[in-house]
């Protein structure tokens, strides 16, 4: 069964610190993986997309990695800011569907001053 598992479920860090969020998936065949950020009370917004051939991609202070062999991805946040407080959701697209997205449950990140 296609699944996406994220860890940790929640994380609290101090402002200015770094953190890494994990995503493991069993989706096959694989097309791509996206990380979304969801602020409280808002819809998710895409941060980055990783395709099969990409290992690392950065978007400002966010760096995503993908290991397609082990089916793992991570999202590293550098020098965290209060505005980084949100849920971060890993989403995998199967290659055999035009519409399906497999959503993880998300990691709730809280940045404390």
Q: How far apart are CA 42 and CA 23, in angstroms?
A: 22
Kindly tell me which residue out of 27, 50, 75, 104 binds other proteins, with binding defined by CB under 8 A. 104
Rg (CA), the chain: 14
3-state SS track over 67-99: ECCCCEEEEEECCCCHHHCEEEEEEEEECCCCC
Binding pattern for the stretch 19-48 against other proteins, x by CB under 8 A and - elsewhere: ------------xx-x------xxxxxx--
Q: How many residues bind other proteins (CB under 8 A)?
A: 22
Q: Does 100 bind other proteins (CB under 8 A)?
A: yes
Residue 11: CB minimum distance to other proteins, A: 16
């Amino acid at each position: 069964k296609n699944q996406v598992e994220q860890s940790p479920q929640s994380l609290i860090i101090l402002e200015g610190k770094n953190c890494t969020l994990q995503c493991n998936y069993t989706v096959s065949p694989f097309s791509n993986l996206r990380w979304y950020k969801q602020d409280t009370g808002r819809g998710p917004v895409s941060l980055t997309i990783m395709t099969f051939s990409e290992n690392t991609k950065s978007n400002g202070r966010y760096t995503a990695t993908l290991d397609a062999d082990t089916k793992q991805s991570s999202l590293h946040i550098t020098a965290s800011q209060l505005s980084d407080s949100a849920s971060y959701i890993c989403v995998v697209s199967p290659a055999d569907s035009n519409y399906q997205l497999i959503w993880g449950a998300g990691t709730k990140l809280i940045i404390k001053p």
